[in-house]
Amino acid sequence: MKLDPSPDVPAVPDFTVPEREGGYARGKAGHERILRAALDILIEEGYRALTMRRIAARCGLRPGNLSYYFPTKDALVRDLLEAIISSYEAEFGLIVADVSLSPEARLEKICVLIMEDIGTKKTTRIFPELWALSNHDGFVNERLQELYDRARVSLELLIAMINPALPLQARKDLSLFISASMEGLTVFAGYEKPFRGRMPALERIATRSFLHMVKTLGPKG
């Protein structure tokens, strides 16, 4: 099941709501509706505004009714974050599949895709919240690192193809650096950020820089 923020947001990585076995048909729609409302609030107004009342109001329910779907706010938020992170994971899995391209081209493509996603409202707004949360919430922290772990797998794979001589640790470090490097752009060139317009130039710098490192990093790290 897919879950977009709400109407017309392109949402490169969609939100996947885990299938609930044995649930009623309307029940699933209910969960999804609520999570979508919560997602919208998180994006538009931030984590502080993510209250049960506001979520309920946004999807036309009464506060009391939310606890029919989610026993506590914590459960709702966990499901929401899970759905958010899962949807990004689902996205990253598909990217490297295109075998018609060279490894270099594929690395470049994946980086460009990530950086373009960083420019979307959803990603610009949500990831800083996740980063902040992860400092004080073990669940978020673990799930988030899982997401990044999985995202780096693609990078590591491509790096190994481009520079097979590179040891595992160097490959891991490099993909970590590349990933972090791009994430860092969120605050500067993300949605409505001051250097939003420089993103194309930054993409060029980034890909060129990344490719050079991948190719020239020696076996000694």
Partner DNA sequence: AATGAATGAGCGTTCATTCAT
Partner DNA sequence: TATGAATGAACGCTCATTCAT
- Decide which of DNA, a copy of itself, none touches 52; Cβ closer than 5 to 8 Å per partner kind: DNA
Task: Report, in Å, the least distance between residue 97 CB and a copy of itself.
Answer: 25
45 binds a copy of itself (CB under 8 A): yes
Site for DNA in 35-54 (CB under 7 A): 50-54
184 binds a copy of itself (CB under 8 A): yes
Site for a copy of itself in 57-86 (CB under 8 A): none
Q: Which residues contact 184 (CB under 8 A, 6 or more apart)?
A: none
- Rounded to whole angstroms, the Cα distance separating 50 from 57 reads 11
- Decide which of DNA, a copy of itself, none touches 167; Cβ closer than 5 to 8 Å per partner kind: none
Q: How far, in Å, are 36, 60, 99, 105 from residue 139 at the CA level? A: 21, 29, 35, 35
Q: Which of 101, 202, 189, 95 is nearest to 150 (CA)?
A: 95
| Closer to a copy of itself by Cβ: residue 100 or 135 | 135
Question: x-or-dash pattern for a copy of itself, window 136-175, by CB under 8 A?
Answer: x-------xx--x--------------------xx-xxx-
Which residue type occupies 138?
G
64 binds DNA (CB under 7 A): yes
Q: Give CB contacts under 8 A, 24+ apart, made by 186-195.
A: 186/118, 186/123, 186/124, 186/127, 186/128, 187/128, 189/118, 189/119, 190/118, 190/119, 190/123, 190/124, 191/119, 191/120, 191/121, 191/123, 191/124, 191/125, 192/121, 192/124, 193/124
| Closer to a copy of itself by Cβ: residue 17 or 214 | 214
- Decide which of a copy of itself, DNA, none touches 47; Cβ closer than 5 to 8 Å per partner kind: a copy of itself
| Closer to a copy of itself by Cβ: residue 90 or 202 | 202
- Decide which of a copy of itself, DNA, none touches 24; Cβ closer than 5 to 8 Å per partner kind: DNA
Q: Which of 9, 28, 103, 121 binds DNA (CB under 7 A)?
A: 28
149 binds DNA (CB under 7 A): no
Q: Is 210 left (phi over 0), alpha (psi -120 to 50) or beta?
A: alpha
| Closer to DNA by Cβ: residue 45 or 149 | 45
- Applying CB under 7 A, the residues found at the interface with DNA are 22-28, 30, 50-54, 60-68, 71-74
